[in-house]
Amino acid sequence: MLSLLESGPVLYEQGSQMLTTDEEIRLVGIIVDDFGNDLNKDELIDCFLMLCEDIAGLEVIDDDEIQSIGNRLWRIYERH
């Protein structure tokens, strides 16, 4: 899988790990830079989904995976 925050697209294969911990940390950094550090959890997940619209393959993730990623991003965001 290509890095989420590098220049190339990320291709998602079902059954593979969606994002590495490092990618999740960098993604939270982008969200803070673009949207601020006073978001609630639902707003954070909305920002994540908005950013994912431009990443090839992420349209195949299901609601459970979105919730799982959202929970991990929220834990990182709370510490940021």
Q: How many CB atoms lie within 10 A of CB 45?
A: 18
| Angstrom distance (rounded) from CA 6 to CA 72 | 21
Q: Which pTM was predicted?
A: 0.75
Q: How confident is the model at residue 22 (pLDDT cuts 50, 70, 90)?
A: very high
DSSP one-letter string for the chain = ---TTSSSPP---TTS-S--HHHHHHHHHHHHHHH-S---HHHHHHHHHHHHTTSTTGGG--HHHHHHHHHHHHHHHHH-
Q: How confident is the model at residue 56 (pLDDT cuts 50, 70, 90)?
A: confident
pLDDT at 9 over 80: no
* Domain boundary assignment for the chain: 21-79
